[in-house]
Amino acid sequence: MRSLAALLAATGLLLCAAAAEAQPIVKLPDASPRARVEQTVGLTDLSVTYARPAVKGRKVWGDLVPFGQVWRAGANENTVVTFSTAVTVEGKPLAAGKYGLHMIPAEAGAWTVIFSNNSANWGSFSYDAKDDALRVQVATEAAPPEERLHYTIDDVTETGAAISLRWEKLRVPIHVGVDANAVTVANLRQQLFGLPQFFAKGWNDAAGWLVQHDTSLDTAAEWVERGLKIQPTFTGHMLKARLLDKKGDTAGAKAQRDLAMTKGNEVEVNQYGYTLLLGGKTQEAVEVFKRNAKDHPDSWNAHDSLAEALAAAGEKGAAKASYKQALKLVKDDVQKARIEKALGAL
């Protein structure tokens, strides 16, 4: 009986120990808390996930972080950089993907920045050069003091940004470039396999971006035609006119603008008139506004816009007549007061 009791007691102790080991560990504040920064450049998403060690009065460069040795560029697990599309880093190509970020600090001169295909390391302890996707040289620069290491994404444009490590009194800017035009064209192609392909607006919006950025104009022409086949709209014909102008086909462009005027509603034609007016094409704007006022004789706004264009053209008498017509039609007191003021200034 004693031996059985002892066995039960021992078993009970083992079970208690096992139960204690199975209990969840409480989560405590991390000495180097995790952080993430992200930015979209064009249609490319950039992100950096990292841990933030603190200076805590220590000598960082050359001591806490030795010179000439591979460093995790953060703390704890790998610092991880992700690119949703192919990019260039310091002018060198790098495929889309997730990369472990490491650096080799230098006491003088440029630092080596490493993008590793292995992004699951704990720090740089298992770093292996055979996993390198890219190495680049980066010039560091002095910066305001930072107690905790952090990353920023700076100098953002449509075609690039700088991923910057900032710590102690140093900034390490890594310049990333994006072929925004190529990425956007590829993305638009993909989108046009979806629901937008069934609507003229989808093709027009896509083509309009290409025309605006003066890229892939042959593709833009194809997409404009696809849109016009679905529905011949003001926007579609205007886009085709812009494309023909770029090709030097002045007569064809004019024919398309004339077609657009037969398809446009009051707002579209009015906006086109202001585009001409703001572009310094005053007389052309006057003709567009005249047509709009003729097609929409009961619109105070059409007559008001025509009056503005006529005043800009120096035709004060005709401008006064149009403003007076607008005053007869307008109901809004604020607009009425504005028109009266413009009329009085002529």
Q: Is the pLDDT of residue 171 over 60?
A: yes
pLDDT at 280: 93
Cα separation of the two ends of the chain: 118
Cα dihedral 32, 36, 37, 43 in deg (nearest 10): 160
Give the tokens for residue 265.
């509603």
SS3 for 268-286, per residue?
Answer: HHHHHHHHHHHCCCHHHHH
Name the residue with higher pLDDT: 124 or 157: 157
Mean pLDDT of the chain: 91
pLDDT at 8: 42
Domains of the chain: 34-178 (no CATH), 179-264 (1.25.40.10), 282-346 (1.25.40.10)
Contacts of 258 (CB under 8 A, 6+ apart): none
Contacts of 294 (CB under 8 A, 6+ apart): none
At residue 29 the predicted structure's pLDDT band, cuts being 50, 70 and 90, is confident
pLDDT at 71: 96
Q: Is 188 exposed, middle or buried (0-12, 13-18, 19+ CB in 10 A)?
A: buried
Contacts of 95 (CB under 8 A, 6+ apart): 86, 133
What phi and psi values does residue 36 have, to the nearest 5 degrees? -150, 140
Contacts of 111 (CB under 8 A, 6+ apart): 103, 104, 105, 137, 138, 139, 140, 172
Q: Is the pLDDT of residue 125 over 80?
A: yes
- Measuring CA to CA, which residue among 274, 283, 280, 262 is closest to residue 304? 274
pLDDT at 111: 97
Average of pLDDT values for 65-80? 94
How big, in percent rounded to 5, are the helix, strand and coil portions of the chain?
A: 45, 25, 30
> What is the spatial distance between Cα 196 and Cα 153, in angstroms, rounded to a whole number?
33
DSSP state at residue 199: S
Average of pLDDT values for 277-296? 93
pLDDT at 220: 94
pLDDT at 199: 95
Average of pLDDT values for 189-208? 94
